[in-house]
Amino acid sequence: MNTIIIQKFIKISQDLPIIDVRTPAEFSDGHITNAINIPIFSNDERAVVGTKYKQESRDTAIAKALEYIAEKTDDYLNELQRLVPSQEICIYCWRGGFRSEGMGHLFQTTGKKVYRLQGGYKAYRNYVLDSFKQNYKLIVIGGMTGSGKTEILEEIGKTDEQMLDLEGIANHKGSAFGALGQEDQPTTQQFENDLAAHLTRFEPEKNIWLEDESRMIGKVKIPDELFKQIRSSTVIKIEVTKENRINRLIKDYANFNKSDLINSINNISRRLGGLNTKLAIEAIEQNDFYKATDIILDYYDKTYTYGLSKREGQTVIPLKLEDNDAKNNAEKVIGFAKEISDYPTLSPH
């Protein structure tokens, strides 16, 4: 079997299927991006083996593990055939020990060429966390809620520029309404893994465009080392009229269920204030989405302005945009970034 270090594993696995043989619970907590779970043990079986190891002996634990494996060998091979047509595969467990070694040897009997990760998922997690310590050339797009930052970044991503979609990876748009229309958020651990996978694909000498975010995007947290870089990079602050922002937000959110919108308003009621909460909810119930959005934006605008005022040492450069054409605005933003590229803090790293 080919047992390889994490750097080589990352490179090889770009083009090969990756099999995670840990339990479903371990896999759900976090796994290598795009990995397939073919668990050698169920959650309960691993608990039994672990208990025997602690309370009885290593030998009885191994005997029980082998008993489980013998009962399910055909199941493993059937799953492999169903899920993995490739003749070369990558495989890992928690530490690169018994589980990946055993399953790797089994899969080799089918003619597969197996690359096994030395140090297992633990080595991968160390690699992920170290990746955020690298210095990236970041260009941060900011602006008040409804400024069209996400649409502009999407258009930038269609060019030859590099774009990191933090909200897309997090499955959340970053506000109290950010979960609407989104899939369930990953765990913070999985968010970090997916984030590192995107960064790995980028060319380090080129700029990376991303949106200005709070430390938390919904329930997931931006890694500290990356967040420090975001907050030390110059922000290009998109400025559009409040009317444009309101109309954009109505377009994005008015089609959601009213009860979901009202629930999101209630989630910020303490910060919005009792009267504003009442008025916003009444406006939603009466289909007056313009009024509701106007009320809510007053809160978000104050919060954003206050947050910017507390960022010591970060340069914020405004850019006024007159229309809502995302493609044209993206071109203007890219051009603006080139104009100020000599600005000493645009890419401080």
One domain, residues 181 and 83: no
In a domain, 345, yes or no: no
Q: Retrieve residue 87's tokens.
A: 């003749």
One domain, residues 58 and 161: no
In a domain, 288, yes or no: yes
Q: How far apart are CA 310 and CA 94, in angstroms?
A: 42
Quick one: pLDDT at residue 140? 96
Last residue of a domain, one of 112, 130, 148: 130
Task: Give Cβ neighbours of residue 322 (< 8 Å, ≥ 6 apart).
Answer: 240
Report how many domains make up the chain. Answer: 2
pTM of the entire predicted model: 0.92
Give the residue carrying structure tokens 């044209």. Answer: 328
Task: Spell out the per-residue pLDDT of the chain, length 349, in tens.
Answer: 899 999 999 999 999 999 999 999 999 999 999 999 999 999 999 999 999 999 999 999 999 999 999 999 999 999 999 999 999 999 999 999 999 999 999 999 999 999 999 999 999 999 999 999 999 999 999 999 999 999 999 999 999 999 999 999 999 998 889 999 999 999 999 999 999 999 999 998 899 999 999 999 999 999 999 999 999 998 999 999 999 999 999 999 999 999 999 999 999 999 899 999 999 999 999 999 999 999 999 999 998 888 888 888 788 999 999 988 999 999 999 999 988 875 444 444 4
In a domain, 109, yes or no: yes
In a domain, 349, yes or no: no
One domain, residues 211 and 97: no
> Do 230 and 314 contact (CB within 8 A), yes or no?
no
In a domain, 348, yes or no: no
Last residue of a domain, one of 114, 130, 146: 130
One domain, residues 68 and 158: no
One domain, residues 329 and 182: yes
Which one is catalytic: 21, 93, 226, 321? 93
One domain, residues 119 and 38: yes
H or E element: which one contains 18? Answer: strand 18-20
In a domain, 347, yes or no: no
Quick one: pLDDT at residue 306? 87
One domain, residues 82 and 178: no
Last residue of a domain, one of 103, 130, 157: 130
One domain, residues 192 and 327: yes
One domain, residues 209 and 110: no
Q: Half-sphere exposure of residue 244, counting CA atoms within 13 Å on the CB side? A: 16
One domain, residues 272 and 330: yes
Is 90 in the active site?
no
In a domain, 156, yes or no: yes
One domain, residues 302 and 225: yes
**CATH code for position 181:** 3.40.50
In a domain, 344, yes or no: no
Q: Retrieve residue 135's tokens.
A: 């210095």
Instruction: List the domain range (segments joined by +) for residue 97.
Output: 2-130
One domain, residues 73 and 155: no
**CATH code for position 123:** 3.40.250.10
